[in-house]
Every structure is written in C-alpha cells, then in structure tokens.
Structure 1
Amino acid sequence: MPKQIPPRSALILIVIAQFLGTSLWFAGNAAASEWEILLDRSGTAPTLTLVVQLGFIFGTFLYALGSIADRFSPSKVFLISCILAASFNFSIILLPTSFSTILFCRFWVGFFLAGIYPVGMKIAADYFEKGLGSALGFLVGALVLGTGFPFLLKGLGWEISWKTILWSTSTLAILGGLAIGFLVPDGPYRKKSPKLDFGLIPKFTKNTALKGAAGGYFGHMWELYTFWAFLPALIFGLTQGTLSTENQSLWTFWIISAGGVSCALGGILAQKIGSQQVAIGSLILSGLCGLLLLVLPDISAFIIFTFLLLWGISVTADSPQFSTLVAQSVPAEQRGTALTLVNSVGFGITVISILVTRELALLLEPKVYLGFLFLGPTVGVFLFKYFRGKDSSERK
C-alpha cells in the first residue's frame, strides 16, 4: 500500500477511477442495438438495464451484510471488484453469443459494481472529515456523466462494434481499479470495523438520523432512474416526434449530463449552506418539475428543452448530499456498510419504479406517467423531515 497522499490528489484519482469503473454499468445499453440485430430480438435494452440493477442490488446487500468495505481495505475491495466486474463484462466476447449468456454476465457485472460505486464513496469519506459533500458531488457527477455518454455516441452517429465497447470498457475499469489499488491508500479517517456483526443492519433501523437521510435518498431514487429510462420517450412525446433520432439522443445526453455538473456545483454550494439544504432544495425542485408536467395542459415548444434541463439538473444534485448525510449519521467504522446498504435499498426502489411506470406507459402518455414521479420526492421530503425532527427531539 502506498504512503498517504493529499486529499485533493486522492479525490482526483477516485473521481477518474469511479468514472472508468462505472463505465461498465451502461456498456450493455450502448451495445444493445447490435445485440438485437445479432440475436433477432427487439426491445432488449430495458431488460439489460434491469438485470444490471438486480445484480447491483444483490451485490450491495451482500457487501453490506458482510461489512466488506469496513472490515477490509476499501482500496483493495475497489481493485478486486473492478477486475471481477471487467472479467464478466469481457466474458461476453469469449463465450458463445446468446441472450441468456449476456444476461448472466451482465448480472455479475452489476453485482461487482457494488464494490465500485459505494466503495468509492466510502474511500472519499475516509479522506474528507470536512467537505465530504463537495467530494461526493464530484464523485457522483462522474457517474452521471458516464450515464449520458452512450447517448452522446449515438447522437454523434458513431458506429462502434459491441465487442469494441466491451473490451474497451473492461480495460478502462481495470485501469480504474489499479489506480485506486496502487495509488490511493486507505484514508486517514478510516476506522476498521473490528469484527463481522450481523446485528449491525438491525441497529441501523434505530438510528433516526440515518433513517431521515435514507428516506430522502429513497424518494430521490424513485424518481431518478425512471426519469432517465423514459427520458427519450418524454422528449419524443413533448416535441411530437419533430426531432431526428440523432438530435433526440443529443438532447438526452445534455439533459442527463447537466445533472453531472449540478452534482459538482451542489457539492461546492453544500460547503457554504450545508448538505441538508442542498439535498432538500433539489428534491423539492425536481418534485415540482414532475408536478408541473402533470398539471400543465401543455408546455410551449420554446421552453421544452429548458424545462427538461432544469429537471435534469435538480433530479441528481441531491444524490451526493443525501449520501453525505448517510455517511455522517453513523460512526466512521460503519460508513461503508451504511452507504452500501442504502444503495442496495435505493436501487431496489428504482426497479419497482421502472416496472410500475412501464405498466402506466401502456395506458397513459409520457407527460402523465412521468408526472406522477413527483410522488417520490414528496414522500422523500416527508420522511427526511419526520425522522430528522425525531432525531433533534431525541438529542435534547
């Protein structure tokens, strides 16, 4: 393990490594169109997204149950997880091509992403006792930019073979893992968990500060991935199909990527006004966007892009700040477990939200079924205020 490095240098390396590692997350989406032709199977993208999400949920739960990031070196956990996730991603090239093989490998990519995304936040938390909200803002922002990247490629009309997508993302993920494993030592504020404690998760249910932060995060997650998943359909519906396929993809990229920038800017703002204010403010604003979409009879063609850009900015800015509040609500030796567990439940909620919205999409137009997403932020704000209020009362 290398000697200690300055927090700023560690953050730069973590952000880069996080971006490289999580590029695996959406590699299947970028390759989906070619697989559909190759396998003579349409509409595979939602299933591919869902199976990665399920793998991530399963992985984060087991990582949390075993307190992996708290009991072992998080830098080594990150490295090993990158190698394993990249190996399963690359295996799709080596194995006979079939839809079941692709789903199997993508599930395990999602599983080992549990050792990349939340563990990256844990490493950052071990370096920043103060200013964690800003650090996580840059970290989550990198993930959001990675989410929008496939849409940029599609919008620019670049034709890249699915094998190139898989081997290049696998290589990038391994490089990200090596950067953390060999250049970023465990942070100065890390406290190793002394033993495996299966009673830790039940103890979290009694932590009202944690429940408040988690409740806000869960409301945010009900909205976020469903908004991203159905954003192309919403753009098509609001513009009445007047955009070309390339321009629609570019709109999608800019709207999603604006959220990556807002994560970073929100983190900087959190240093001045606090993570709680940024998180709740963003959650309320994104909920209002959904509500306006639902109640307004129409949106002028001149402001559609601006409106969606505002939604894209507000729908993500709260994510790193809620994660900051989660990390701050537990002792240092429990941060990795808390972050991983909250991620597990949060992504489980995204699956339910996407499935519910998919059923509503059979009956309603996009502006209506996506407008109902305002319910997530509404519940999230209520839970946050309720449990944080209880926590303040208990401390008196």
Structure 2
Amino acid sequence: MTPWFSATAILPELSARWQMDEGTASWLTIAVQIGFVIGALGLTVTGLADRLPMRQLIGWSACVAGLSNLMLLVAPDPGWAVASRMLTGIALAGVYPPSMKLVTTWFVQARGLALGMVIGALTLGSAFPHLVRAASAGLDWRIVVLATSGFALISAVMLALVVREGPHGYAPAPFRLAELRNIVLYKPLMLANIGYFGHMWELYAMWGWFLAFASGALVQSGLQGPAFASSLTFVVIATGAVGCVIGGWVADRIGRTATTAIMMAASGGCAALIGFAWGGPEWVLILIALIWGLTIPADSAQFSAMVTELSERRLVGTALAFQMGVGFALTVISLRLMPVFAEWIGGWQWAFLVLVPGPAIGTIAMLWLRRLPEAARISGGLR
C-alpha cells in the first residue's frame, strides 16, 4: 500500500515543480481515491473478486500499482501525474479487498484480530511515504517515489513465494449483477456499510490533510521545518497500526458493534477538539493527534469482518468490494471538501470539524445494528 500517499508526501515539491495551487495539488491525492472507487466497483459489477484466484489478483495488482507509481518520475505535467495516480488507485483496489477475503480463509475464530493486523499493515504502508520523506529531507523527492514503488513490487514477489489460501476457502462462484440487491437491500449488512461509510468520511481526509494542518499548527507553536511536520504525520498515521491490532483484539472480546461505536466516538471527538490545540502547547496538539491516529482506523477491519459474517458466503468478495467502493467514493468528497472548507473559514485550525458528522452517523448505525436479531451472527454472538 506504500504508493497510496507517495504523491501526498512530496506535494510541496510537486506543487513547486508544476506551479500548482493547493486546490489543483489536492487532485494528486483525490485521483488515487477515484481510481480505487473505479477498481472496486469494477470488481463488484463483474464479480471478479469471487471468480479469480486471490493470490493472482493481488500479486498482479501490486505490480501495476508499483509501476504506475513510477510514472510520477516522468510525468511532464499535472494531467499526466493525476492519470498515473488514478491508475495506481485502480490497481490498489485489486490488493485491498481481496487481501481481506484471503485472510478470512485462515481465520474463523479471532477473525477481528486477524483483519485488524491487515488494516494495521495498510496503515503502516499508507504512512510510510511520510517517513521516507522525513528521512530524506534535503534530498531529491524522487527517492520517495522509488522507495514506495520498490516496496509494492517486493510485496508482489513475497506474495508469489510465501502466501497461500487457508483451509476455509471460497469456491469460485458465478455472479449475476441482479444479485447486488442481496447486498444493498439486506438491512443488517447495509447498517454495517453505513457505519463504514461514516468511518471513511473521516479517515482518508484526516490522513490526506493532517500534514497541512500540522505544518500550520507547528508554525503557530514556534516549531518550524517540513521534516518535523512529516515526522509527526508519519507517527500519527502509523500509530493507527497499533490501534487496528487493539481494535481487533477488543472486538473479539466485547463485540464488533460495541468496538466500532467506541472508536468512532473517540475519533470524532478528536476531530472536534484538535482545533483547540492550534498554537497551544505542543504536547496537547501531539497528544490529541496521537489519540486520533490510534482510534481513527482501529474500527476499519471490523466493518469488513461484519460483511464476511452477515453476507452470503458466495458473495463475500463482491460484498467487500461494494463496501469499499462506495466508502472510498465518499473519501473523494471529503478529501476535496477539506481545502475548500479550510479556505472558507480562513485556515486549517477548524477545518477538521467538517469530518465530525461521519463518525457520529456511523456510531448511530452501529448501535442500531446491535439491537437487530441478525447481529447474533457477528463475532460468534458477541455482536
């Protein structure tokens, strides 16, 4: 997943290279989300996530992601760069949903923790470009592109040599587009999806724009320098990997709906409060940011786990692709809205308030799902 935010981590350099304003530059991040939506919905309407061998789908997709990311090195203008980012997103749609499905072939018990580990890996991969940028401060920005592409290509080799499907596999299933109604119209499954949609409204907008927020906040606090802001952004996002593992462990013990509601309430609270730390003591800003970074992805795997437990077994791959396709479509809106809202209110201090409705709606959906009798199928009856 390292190519995902590779352009975001070097946005100042790319903006200077092509003389882009903030609104134009934001499309280098948004294009990945759009590409992912196209790829995920493509998997949904074709049913390929339930028809192709998962190792082949993931491996080839990782190769395409790594190679398309390299196109940033030769892109002559922003238009070509945006196209390369969109292709990267399409390819990563062949990595993320099938990876979740593949892991479920190994785990029935402790599935929440297992999927939490996968989302933790995704979180670390998403954060990694910021670490490379911080470690290579003062060096050529192309190092970030080369490193992130290299890791994606190495992962494809690892997948081919090491990864196998587990004993709880899925038989290849025929798919008809009309069967989408079994996903869209099934109330318990759609409540799980609504919870995920609220979570996604917040997640990628925070990941994508925290560097801009932190850069401004640290200047106000008297701490300047892009390397420090990049380091803080890496730590905040990477902390979510720990949160994903904790969230999975907790969900397997108290239930998925309870865990997701608690995590969304916590992350939404941080989105509402972090503006108060602008220009204040640095430790307050860093503390709220770390709590936010810990909790914001901690529930993500549990929404996917609920889909695997609530949907028809033969449609698990398609249901996951649908959930992620719509969820990432919402991230396109929230990512684009953030700089517009920040400009409208005069800066980044209170910009994250626009994200608060997402986790609020998601929390309500989880508490509603918890009351339904079908929720007994979740997490072995723990709901």
- TM-score computed with the length of structure 2 as normaliser: 0.88
Written as runs of structure 1 = structure 2, the 5 A alignment for 1:314-329 is 314-329=295-310
Partner of 2:135: 156
* 2:33 pairs with 1:53: yes
Question: CA offsets per residue over residues 230-253 of structure 1, 9 Å max, x none?
Answer: 323433454425212222222222
Q: 2: CA distance between counterparts of 1:247 and 1:88?
A: 29
Report SS of the residue matched to 2:297: helix
* Of 370, 373, 385, the match for 2:352: 370
Q: Report the CA distance shift for 1:101/1:176 in structure 2 as closer, same or farther (over 3 A).
A: same
Partner of 1:354: 335
Q: Say which is worse superposed, 381-390 or 213-222, in terms of deviation.
A: 381-390
Partner of 1:308: 289
Partner of 1:17: none
* Of 52, 75, 80, the match for 1:72: 52
Q: CA deviation at 1:62?
A: 0.3
Report SS of the residue matched to 1:150: helix
Q: Report the CA distance shift for 1:50/1:175 in structure 2 as closer, same or farther (over 3 A).
A: same
Q: 1: CA distance between counterparts of 2:94 and 2:133?
A: 29
Q: Say which is worse superposed, 128-137 or 362-371, in terms of deviation.
A: 362-371
Q: 2: CA distance between counterparts of 1:296 and 1:28?
A: 28
Q: 2: CA distance between counterparts of 1:98 and 1:296?
A: 38
Q: Report the CA distance shift for 1:223/1:99 in structure 2 as closer, same or farther (over 3 A).
A: same
Partner of 1:339: 320
Report SS of the residue matched to 1:289: helix
Q: 1: CA distance between counterparts of 2:169 and 2:92?
A: 21
Partner of 1:383: 365
* 2:239 pairs with 1:258: yes
Q: Structure 2: which amino acid aligns with 1:195? A: P
Report SS of the residue matched to 1:366: coil
Cα RMSD, aligned residues only: 2.6
* 2:156 pairs with 1:177: yes
Q: 2: CA distance between counterparts of 1:268 and 1:350?
A: 27
Q: 2: CA distance between counterparts of 1:185 and 1:297?
A: 48
Question: CA offsets per residue over residues 115-151 of structure 1, 9 Å max, x none?
Answer: 0111111111121112111111111111112222222
**8 Å contact from structure 2 (residues 211, 230) kept in 1:** yes
Q: Structure 2: which amino acid aligns with 1:120? A: S
Q: 2: CA distance between counterparts of 1:167 and 1:290?
A: 33
Partner of 2:380: none
Q: 1: CA distance between counterparts of 2:314 and 2:138?
A: 46
Q: 2: CA distance between counterparts of 1:276 and 1:233?
A: 33
Q: 1: CA distance between counterparts of 2:144 and 2:273?
A: 38
Q: Which runs of 5+ in 1 are unaligned?
A: 1-21
Q: 2: CA distance between counterparts of 1:157 and 1:170?
A: 16
Q: 2: CA distance between counterparts of 1:374 and 1:92?
A: 33
- TM-score computed with the length of structure 1 as normaliser: 0.85
Q: Say which is worse superposed, 169-178 or 55-64, in terms of deviation.
A: 169-178
Written as runs of structure 1 = structure 2, the 5 A alignment for 1:55-134 is 55-93=35-73, 97-134=76-113
Q: CA deviation at 1:57?
A: 0.7
Q: 2: CA distance between counterparts of 1:222 and 1:335?
A: 23
Question: CA offsets per residue over residues 49-108 of structure 1, 9 Å max, x none?
Answer: 011111011110001111212111111111121222223223444x56232222222211
Q: Report the CA distance shift for 1:159/1:197 in structure 2 as closer, same or farther (over 3 A).
A: farther
Q: CA deviation at 1:387?
A: 4.1
Q: CA deviation at 1:378?
A: 0.8
Partner of 1:27: 6
Q: 1: CA distance between counterparts of 2:311 and 2:69?
A: 34
Question: CA offsets per residue over residues 316-369 of structure 1, 9 Å max, x none?
Answer: 111111221122111332221111111111111111112223222112243423
Q: Say which is worse superposed, 183-192 or 106-115, in terms of deviation.
A: 183-192
Q: Report the CA distance shift for 1:224/1:68 in structure 2 as closer, same or farther (over 3 A).
A: same
Q: Say which is worse superposed, 383-392 or 130-139, in terms of deviation.
A: 383-392
Q: Which runs of 5+ in 2 are unaligned?
A: 378-383
Q: CA deviation at 1:200?
A: 2.3
Q: 1: CA distance between counterparts of 2:354 and 2:72?
A: 37
Q: CA deviation at 1:264?
A: 1.5
Q: 1: CA distance between counterparts of 2:375 and 2:65?
A: 44
* 2:248 pairs with 1:267: yes
Partner of 2:261: 280
**8 Å contact from structure 1 (residues 88, 108) kept in 2:** yes
Q: 2: CA distance between counterparts of 1:118 and 1:325?
A: 14
Q: Report the CA distance shift for 1:160/1:132 in structure 2 as closer, same or farther (over 3 A).
A: farther
